């Protein structure tokens, strides 16, 4: 695998992560908030956990 192929693959992975961070995860978090009490909301916790893994460090 050449450097150009590696670069394209990494860029594709980055594009997916950016899409998740800016579009999918905020929607999932908002959806989870609609269930009310966030202290015992597994969907909210899962979305926030995934966001922390995808987001900038």
Rounded to whole angstroms, what are the CA distances from 5 to 1, 10, 11, 29, 47? Answer: 6, 9, 10, 34, 32
What is the token pair recorded at 21?
Answer: 């961070």
The predicted pLDDT at position 2 comes to 94
Report pLDDT digits (tens) over 2-53. 999 999 999 999 999 999 989 998 998 888 788 776 677 777 788 888 888 8
| pLDDT (0 to 100) of residue 57 | 58
* Three-state SS letters, 1-57: CCHHHHHHHHHHHHHHHHHHHHHHHHHHHHHHHCCCCHHHCHHHHHHHHHHHHHCCC
For residue 40, give every residue at least 6 positions away whose Cβ sits within 8 Å of its Cβ, in sequence order, or none: none
More confident position, 17 or 54? 17
Please report the pLDDT score of residue 38 as a whole number: 64
């Amino acid at each position: 695998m050449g450097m150009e192929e590696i670069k394209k693959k990494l860029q594709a992975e980055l594009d997916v992560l950016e899409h998740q961070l800016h579009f999918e995860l905020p929607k999932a978090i908002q959806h989870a908030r609609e269930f009310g009490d966030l202290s015992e909301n597994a969907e909210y916790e899962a979305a926030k956990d995934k966001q922390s893994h995808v987001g900038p460090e």
